[in-house]
Amino acid sequence: MPKISEKGQRMPESPIRKLVPFAEDAKTRGIKVFHLNIGQPDIKTPQVALDAVKNNDIEVLSYARSEGSESYRNKLAQYYKKNQIDISAKDIIVTTGGSEALLFTIGSITDFGDEIIIPEPFYANYNGFAAANGIEVVPIVSSIETGFALPEIEEFEKLIGAKTKAILICNPGNPTGYLYSKKEIEKLKALVLKHDLFLIADEVYREFVYDNMQHHSIMTDKGIDQNAIMIDSVSKRYSMCGARIGCIVSRNKEFIQTSLKYAQARLSSPTYALLASEAALDTPQKYFDEVIIEYVERRNTLITELNKIDNLKVSKPKGAFYCIAELPVEDADDFAQWMLEKFSDNNETIMVAPASGFYSTKGSGKNQIRIAYVLNKESLIRSVELLKLALEQYKN
Ligand SMILES: Cc1ncc(COP(=O)(O)O)c(C=O)c1O
């Protein structure tokens, strides 16, 4: 039989989706499963975006420009200006989701065997994008004790070697909910300048910042023009995960020209989704204000309820819509599967994402899960009640 590539075999399974068959099986047994495992918000997509797809006179569904239309990129630049990010259309390449933005970015800046340093736990698919590009993720541990704050810069420095090409952060963080402060971003800037590295910031959760805190983008000041690359997406901002539109932003011309070649090779992003994404930029501020209020209430409800469980540790997220909880179990993978296979209360159970897949250090996060608070408050309260009951019944 022809042989599958080493690269392909190294591609990790998604920790968010690998329990899906067990959840499907539970559902066929008539059990309701509360999905806390995936960051698919239940918030309505802005009407302006939906209307743009419904009300148009397109007769030929043609390719779009590889880098995205001039009008969309100009409007994106205006949106960024409102967010204190002074860039222009030429600094943007529109992609098919933040996922493709990450793939193009890693492809453009690394060669086989190169390394990218990432604070862990991190968005699990970074492992997949690294494997697809034949590069190594070098993890640097952040801890639940500090709420997943930026590790000490000296620790980063110890990991920098000849193969290091970049530091990648997610701000606000999936799966940690941590929001890096201006001071932390400044420390990273100084570090990448000193070692001539790229700094990639995945800012797809920029709008989801709570408690009157400010998001500080790596693109805000121009001291690291040649090093800074920002990843963005419409998926979470406008609850448009299915549109599959994102972008890469950088003032580094050579990097943008290289990424454009990747964009040209895949021709273009989907035309209808581009229409919706451009229209979504006209979403009124009121939409975001209401969404933030909803997420703050959900977060507060979730954290209050989780704190009622004995021997459970959780740090309060400052942004995004996830948190990591440390459970009094040895193997959260086994526990998560057990909740789907063997546990139910009144025909209900929950699905969570075991956190081990968000680490690349073997054995890390074994007793942790990631919870996405993308369900309404009543469902969250019931979900935590189910978690508590399950913990009481589960035998390590
Ligand atoms: C941190 C982070 N980056 C990137 C993505 C990719 O998003 P998309 O490809 O839908 O834009 C996600 C999706 O959940 C994410 O959580």
Q: Is 241 in the pocket of ligand 1 (CB under 6 A)?
A: yes
- Ligand 1 pocket test, candidate residues 174, 321, 374, most atoms within 8 A of CB: 174
- Name the pTM for this structure: 0.95
- 172: helix, strand or coil: coil
Pocket test for ligand 1, best of 99, 148, 176, 230 (most atoms within 8 A of CB): 99
CA 342 / ligand 1 centre spacing (Å): 31
How many CB atoms sit inside 10 A of residue 363's CB?
7
DSSP SS3 for 333: helix
- The amino acid sitting at 277 is S
Q: What are the 10-residue block averages of pLDDT along the chain, 396 residues in total?
A: 92 82 96 91 94 95 96 98 96 98 98 97 94 95 95 97 98 97 96 98 96 95 93 97 97 98 98 97 95 95 96 95 96 96 96 92 93 94 97 88
Residue 235 CA to ligand 1 center (angstroms) comes to 7
| Segment 134-186, tens digit of pLDDT | 999 999 999 999 999 999 999 999 999 999 999 999 999 999 999 999 999 99
Instruction: Quote the ligand 1 centre to 39 CA distance (angstroms).
Output: 9
What integer pLDDT is reported at residue 42 of this predicted model? Answer: 87
To which H or E segment does residue 275 belong? Answer: helix 271-280
Within 8 A by CB and 6+ apart from 78, the residues are: 281
170 lines ligand 1 (CB under 6 A): yes
Q: Which DSSP string corresponds to 128-165?
A: HHHHHTT-EEEEEE--GGGTSPPPPHHHHHHH--TTEE
Closest-lying ligand 1 atom to the alpha carbon of residue 99: 9
